[in-house]
Amino acid sequence: MELDRDRLLWLYERMRLIRAFENRLHDDFAAGVIPGFCHLYAGEEAVAVGVCAHLGDDDFITSTHRGHGHCIAKGVPVDEMMAEIRGKVTGCCKGKGGSMHIADVDRGMLGANGIVGGGPPLACGAGLMASIRGTRQATACFFGDGGSNQGTTAESLNLASVWKLPVVFVCENNRYAETTSTDYSIGGPDIAGRGIAFGMPGIVVDGQDVFAVYEAAGEAFRRARDGEGPTLLECQTYRYFGHFEGDEKKYRTRDEEGHFRERDCLEGFRKTVVAGELLSAAELDGIDEASEAAVVKAVEFAEQSPLPEPAECLDDVYVSY
């Protein structure tokens, strides 16, 4: 695993920006200024960032209903994201996608998805394109423990294996499909093992540790780009907020929440790089401040942007073939 200084700074800057973005949305949703539903990614930052660190603009990701972290990790500007989530015309989907259908195809972000298990077939499509064209483009397919139980996911794992597609399936196992615990919703009983069943390596990764995700994803993308086929990474992680904003989280305990808060990916990163003398605490503090400022600026940009005109309602919504 090679980690130069620029890469370390990027990993922390992206995770910290996601955290600041999601914390602000948490507050703004409670204040009633965010239209529609919001599913926040805070707590899971290490997964999106550790995976997307291996992707360029011409690589792809497919996302879930909890897609803000994936967007930021893939390089979608937070100004455009904040405007999109507020339904403004300057948003990356001109305000018509909102939180749950946010996308930025130019940056390889093929869309958040309101349909659980909707992303894996898209990832196979992107992978098939790269395979047919003979490029070295790779696709990361994010889905959750709930999505792992969908038929579309099983079909996609099978298809990707049969065609040896350059897709890395990234299961973000945050222990709850909405409010249903994996303790009694995952038959098998493990998700990584399902990769093995479909003829691809399936491994468990500590999703609270960006270095663990980064290292495992690096090997998975090497396999993908070298034509060795797909890989399933089960990243075990935890979301700090509810399934959706407003969720009272009555299905989990404070002990459990406290346990995972103690293993926070940002704090873990800070401890590791300072102990290893890789970065200084002052450098990280600077990134903290810059991230907060970037989100304030994004909110201002969104607030000052206009709503779409009613006459534009159907523009860019349907595609003609």
Partner 1 sequence: MSLVGIIANPSSGKDIRRLVSDATGLDNHHKANIVRRVLRGLAAISTFAQAGPAAISHVVLMPEPAGIGHTATTGLDFPFSVAPMAMPYFGCAEDSLEAARRLADDQADVIVVLGGDGTHRLVAKACGNIPLVPISTGTNNVWPRQNEGTLAGMAAALIATGLVPPDTATRRTRRLDILRDGEPFDTALVDVAACDVPVPGARAIWDVNRIRQLVLALAHPGVLGLSSIGGSLPPPTGSERCGLALDIGDGGDTVLAPIAPGLVLPVPVRSFRWLEPGETVAITDQPGTLALDGERETIVGRDDQLAVRLEADGPTMVDVPATLELAAGAGCFIMPTATTA
- In the bound state with partner 1, the residue whose beta carbon lies nearer, of 34 and 192, is 192
Distance CA 66, CA 158 (A): 24
Question: How many residues belong to the site for partner 1 (CB under 8 A)?
Answer: 45
> Which residue is it, tokens 């609270």?
208
Q: How far apart are CA 122 and CA 234, in angstroms?
A: 19
Q: Does 182 bind partner 1 (CB under 8 A)?
A: yes
By CB under 8 A, name the one of 16, 107, 223, 270 that touches partner 1: 223
The total of other beta-carbon atoms located within 10 Å of residue 32's CB is 7
Q: x/- string (CB under 8 A) for partner 1, residues 7-46?
A: ----------------------------------------
Pairing of strands 60-62, 139-144: parallel
Asked if 257 interacts with partner 1 (CB under 8 A), we say: no
In degrees rounded to 5, what are phi and psi of residue 208?
Answer: -95, -5
Find the binding residues for partner 1 in span 47-106 (CB under 8 A). Answer: none
d(CA 22, CA 196): 34
CA nearest 46: which of 20, 69, 77? 69
Q: Is 142 helix (H, G, I), strand (E, B) or coil?
A: strand
Give the distance between the most distant pair of CA atoms in the chain: 57
Query: Which part of the chain contacts partner 1 (CB under 8 A), choosing from 81-89, 113-121, 218-226, 312-320?
Result: 218-226
Q: Is 255 in the site for partner 1 (CB under 8 A)?
A: yes
- Contact pattern from residue 233 through residue 252 relative to partner 1, giving x for each residue in contact according to CB under 8 A and a dash for the rest: -x-x----------------
Binding site for partner 1 (CB under 8 A): 1, 3, 175, 181-184, 186, 188-190, 192-193, 195-197, 201-206, 209, 211-212, 214-216, 219-220, 223, 231, 234, 236, 255-256, 259-260, 263, 272-273, 275-278
